[in-house]
Structure 1
Amino acid sequence: MKLQFNVGNDIGNSEQAIFIDGELIRQPNVYASAVSIPWTDDETDVSKNLKNIYDNLVVSIISSAVLTGTYLIGRHALKTEGENVSSLYVKGNNAKSDQMIPYINTLGTIAARAVEKANESGTLPESITVICDQAIALPVKQHTPRNIETLQSKFMNGSHNVTVHLGLTKKVDVKIDFEFVQVLQEGTPPVFALQMDQESNWRTENYKTETNSKEKVKPSNGGIFEEFALEYNLGEIDGSYLDGKNILHVDLGDGTSDFPYTKGDAVDKDFCHGVNHGVGHAIVEAVDDLLVLAPHAFNSISRQQYSEILISGFSNKKHKFLPEAKQAFKPHLDNQINQIMQHVSDQVLKIGANEIDLIVVYGGGSILMKESILPKLKTLADNNRILLFYVPAQYAVTLNAEGLDWFVRSPLYSKLKEDFKETTKRIAASRE
């Protein structure tokens, strides 16, 4: 069986949100190495794992991009290994392109999607070949020629052989080849996703109905623009309202926060800025405090597990130790917010208030930071006569992935791919 996938890949520090063949898959961005296959038989394990493939994802990978090995990915790794998982290192200047997680989790999830799609068609072959086009984004500070080349070469140089283990003996071998990988700077994809839905209509509500992840936050009652339109008496608006606007983005992440400036659909690289501040840093600092506040509840806890406790505050089922988690978290979060606000203020001064139509706030960190940072941002915006669009929680986390999915299927991506092929041909011809 041969499949062709378009991949829009947001490799977040806490969560990977990835569109594969138009379907959104969200996983904790973690993995754990496995010594052996955890399944005991085929009769019960295969059907269970096919039904919940992303919750029970075990793969073996042979690829020049990663160390050969067997890996538990995402929720399965977190469930079985707890804090003993590998995650993106958020401190220092460690580029995502130099760490193994983007490659292991992307290859494993693409392979799982291939198995899922084959199974949906009524057949489960022993092997599948997948040809991919991929759009991926890097934070502002990491979007350098070196890091771009690293990502492209690791994905595009050679085939990646991934075995998806469904039972003790039942497995599917998936060969993955990337025809082209375009690396965007964070800030560009949300411009696309805020304006357009997946069918390239002006956006009003969801980009696409989410089918492959559990709802993590309560949905808002209206569309993506309802609260914003009410705040500024704009009437009924859709994504066309943002067309051509000058936007200062505040992308609040786990390990980084980015402040790109876009004019229309283009990033103005003279005014792009990013910092190593985010909720992940606050969580890392809060872990020891939580263990003191709830000594009988936890021996240790990973950053992702702590994040899940905090996010439960926005769901119908709150974690028993949410109050202690929030108590430990808040002072460290306030420190991060103070740093972030300074950088946002600096960006407004550098760009000039007259050149900014809107400040748009989104990202995984925007949910946990909202209570504390929203009043500060509103004061800053009002003082500078700038509109503030704080994207509702239901939509805030997946904007990068949605924009990447839209882009990888766009004529612009096709043109870049053709240009790449022509350049490759010319280089090859010059060497003959």
Structure 2
Amino acid sequence: MTEQNVSVVENIKVVVEADLGNSNLKIFINDKYVSVPNVFQRVHGGVDSYESNEKKNVINLLDDLYVHVTSGAIERNGSFFIGKRAMRNSEKMKAMNIKVDNKHEEDLPIINTLSVIAAKTIQNVYDETQSVPDILQLDLDLMTAIPASQHNPKTAEFFSERFTSNTHVVIVYVGNRPVTVKIECSRVRVTKEALAALYAITEAPDEMFKEFQELYKKRLKDKKVTGDFFKDKKILHSDIGEGTSEYIFTDGLTPVLDSCSGERRGIGHAIEEACRLLNKERTTNFKRQQFTEIILDKNDKYHEDAKEFIYDTRYEQAELIEEDVEEKFINDTGGRAEVLAVYGGGSISLRNELHAKLLKFCETTGMMLLYVPEKYAIELNPKGMNALRKIID
């Protein structure tokens, strides 16, 4: 494609579904999926870029994201490293506070969501024109969610208005070149976390149900299981995240809103405690996200220590979640749930501790266990919002 002069691009319609995870920001931007560590680092003074190749800078934009955000929605305007770039300095990196029930009040979700949308749109414009613009003007239609334990009409409206009542300006640095992205939010909808996942389940590929099919082949009389199977079922959802676990009860395709709640449980609490133990043992200063990187990297010199500490703290969280599921089944569903659906990033990390316990509980109560495979577990919420939008819009 030949290079075009695109100094100013106006009225770009951007449709977004954003899962504001405590670990990762998982987001569909015009149906394109992006996942970025949900952390930032406030930056003071200028930052030089040592890469002069414009194409490389655009390609690596989300990994090296440096922005300045001006918005009435946040407490203080400023410059930030976002995502992976912020993780390079543990001392100054800020993550979501998983110990406090105020996701709708925090600045981090606003800053990171706007920054990633701005950066991804620059990449999209470059892909189409082979040119980096100077100014972009976006019209944003956003669907997102906050934990069920924090969600009510007042908090949902408050969070929505932080986007809609302000004009947001994000200056994204493509190398040393600033690109000004002006964002106006024409519509923002805030639902409960896990509520939309049902739609991802009903639209999921058959592969997601392979384990479920095998587990219940006699009970199902070898009937093939697809997403349609779950459309008329009473389902207790357990969405295990980093800082909270959401328990949603759906009857067919309808949520039973009075039976939806959340608890401060999740793999993040296990990681924070294990991280504290590692820092004490090794005189380090790792943060939650960096501890996760150590766990994932078998060649890291602290991997074995981290693995040992997380082994015990993980079990404690699994016990609490199991107790939650039992209590929600009795009190929130009145024993009516037919399926227990377990997913979310925490369900992957806690599978060894949780699966057998939950399967036994399901056998006792007559429920069927849909423990969503790792390949699908993390993306179920943003995919659900993406599917839900196409149904209701």
Q: What TM-score, normalized to structure 2?
A: 0.92
Aligned to 1:421: none
Matches within 5 A, 1:57-72: 57-66=65-74, 67-72=76-81
**Displacement after TM superposition at 1:9 (Å):** 0.4
**Displacement after TM superposition at 1:42 (Å):** 6.6
Q: Is 1:238 paired with 2:210?
A: no
Q: Is the 8 A contact 1:129 1:176 kept in 2?
A: yes
Q: Is 1:180 paired with 2:187?
A: yes
**Displacement after TM superposition at 1:37 (Å):** 3.7
Question: Distance in 2 between the 1:92 and 1:351 partners?
Answer: 24
Gapped regions of structure 2 (runs ≥ 5):
1-8
**Displacement after TM superposition at 1:237 (Å):** 2.2
Q: State the one-letter code of the partner of 2:187.
A: F
1:125 is paired with a residue whose SS is coil
1:35 to 35, 40, 44: 44
Q: 1:320 to 1:239 in 2, by over 3 A?
A: farther
Which deviations, in whole Å up to 9, do the C-alpha atoms of 1:309-337 show, x marking residues without a partner? 3345xxxx664433321211122222222
Aligned to 1:152: 160
Q: Is the 8 A contact 1:310 1:368 kept in 2?
A: no
Equivalenced residues, count: 378
**Displacement after TM superposition at 1:38 (Å):** 2.4
Which deviations, in whole Å up to 9, do the C-alpha atoms of 1:257-296 show, x marking residues without a partner? 1111111222112222211111111111112322355x2x
**Displacement after TM superposition at 1:407 (Å):** 2.3
Q: State the one-letter code of the partner of 2:293.
A: E
Q: Is the 8 A contact 2:260 2:332 kept in 1?
A: no
Q: State the one-letter code of the partner of 1:128.
A: L
Matches within 5 A, 1:125-204: 125-168=133-176, 170-196=177-203, 203-204=204-205
Matches within 5 A, 1:22-421: 22-40=31-49, 43-44=52-53, 46-66=54-74, 67-79=76-88, 81-93=89-101, 95-122=102-129, 123-168=131-176, 170-196=177-203, 203-204=204-205, 223-233=207-217, 234=220, 235=222, 236-293=224-281, 295=282, 299-312=284-297, 319-351=300-332, 355-408=336-389, 410-412=390-392, 414=393
1:7 to 16, 21, 26: 16
Q: Is the 8 A contact 1:255 1:276 kept in 2?
A: yes
Q: Cα RMSD between the aligned structures? A: 1.7
Question: Distance in 2 between the 1:96 and 1:291 partners?
Answer: 27
Question: Distance in 2 between the 1:284 and 1:278 partners?
Answer: 10
2:196 is paired with a residue whose SS is helix
Q: State the one-letter code of the partner of 1:300.
A: N
Which deviations, in whole Å up to 9, do the C-alpha atoms of 1:10-58 show, x marking residues without a partner? 00111110111111111111000111342335734x3332011110111
Q: State the one-letter code of the partner of 2:214.
A: L
**Displacement after TM superposition at 1:133 (Å):** 0.8
Which deviations, in whole Å up to 9, do the C-alpha atoms of 1:206-253 show, x marking residues without a partner? xxxxxxxxxxxxxxxxx1111111111154322111112110011111
Q: 1:141 to 1:174 in 2, by over 3 A?
A: same
Question: Distance in 1 between the 2:324 and 2:371 partners?
Answer: 17
**Displacement after TM superposition at 1:182 (Å):** 0.7
Question: Distance in 1 between the 2:240 and 2:215 partners?
Answer: 22
2:41 is paired with a residue whose SS is strand
1:326 is paired with a residue whose SS is helix
Question: Distance in 2 between the 1:237 and 1:326 partners?
Answer: 36
**Displacement after TM superposition at 1:353 (Å):** 6.7
Q: 1:289 to 1:4 in 2, by over 3 A?
A: same
**Displacement after TM superposition at 1:158 (Å):** 2.6
Q: 1:300 to 1:226 in 2, by over 3 A?
A: same
Gapped regions of structure 1 (runs ≥ 5):
197-202, 206-222, 415-432
Question: Distance in 2 between the 1:311 and 1:145 partners?
Answer: 39
Question: Distance in 2 between the 1:383 and 1:311 partners?
Answer: 35
Q: Is the 8 A contact 1:260 1:273 kept in 2?
A: yes
Q: Is the 8 A contact 2:168 2:184 kept in 1?
A: yes
Q: What TM-score, normalized to structure 1?
A: 0.84
Question: Distance in 2 between the 1:229 and 1:348 partners?
Answer: 23
Aligned residues with identical type, % of pairs? 30
Q: 1:385 to 1:375 in 2, by over 3 A?
A: same
Q: State the one-letter code of the partner of 2:16.
A: V
Question: Distance in 2 between the 1:141 and 1:318 partners?
Answer: 38
Q: State the one-letter code of the partner of 2:97.
A: Y
